[in-house]
Amino acid sequence: MPIPDTRRFAHCFLTTLVCAVLGACSVAPTTHVSEPGSYSDMLADDERFSPSATYFVLDEPAQRQEIVLRAFDLLGVDYRWGGGDPESGLDCSGVATYLVEQVSGRKLPHHAATIAQVTRPIKRQELSPGDLVFFNTLGRRHSHMGVYIGNDRFIHAPAPGQKIRIERLDARYYTEHLDGLHSLVRPGN
Share of the chain above pLDDT 90, in %: 66
Using alpha carbons, select from 55, 160, 149, 35 the residue that is nearest to residue 106: 55
Cβ contact 176:165 at 8 Å? no
User: 111, 142, 156, 182: which is the annotated catalytic residue?
Assistant: 156
pLDDT for the residue numbered 189:
73
User: 111, 142, 144, 177: which is the annotated catalytic residue?
Assistant: 144
Cβ contact 90:84 at 8 Å? yes
Q: Give the phi and the psi of residue 69 in degrees, each rounded to 5.
A: -60, -45
Euclidean distance between CA atoms 173 and 125, whole angstroms: 20
Q: What is the DSSP letter of 125?
A: G
Domain count of the fold of the chain: 1
Q: Which of the residues in the chain have pLDDT under 50? A: 1-3, 6-49, 52
Domain contains 61: yes
Active site residue 182: no
Q: Which CATH number goes with the domain that contains 178? A: 3.90.1720.10
User: 92, 111, 142, 177: which is the annotated catalytic residue?
Assistant: 92
SS3 114: helix
Domain contains 40: yes
Euclidean distance between CA atoms 47 and 14, whole angstroms: 34
Range of the domain at 96: 5-183
Domain contains 96: yes
pLDDT for the residue numbered 49:
47
**pLDDT tens-digit series, residues 58-113:** 989 899 999 999 999 999 999 999 998 999 999 999 999 999 999 999 999 999 99
- Start-end of H helices in 24-170: 63-73, 92-104, 112-118
Active site residue 25: no
Euclidean distance between CA atoms 75 and 154, whole angstroms: 11
Active site residue 156: yes
Domain contains 188: no
Question: Letter for the amino acid at 62?
Answer: A
Domain contains 189: no
pLDDT for the residue numbered 71:
97
Cβ burial of 176 (10 Å; 0-12, 13-18, 19+) is middle
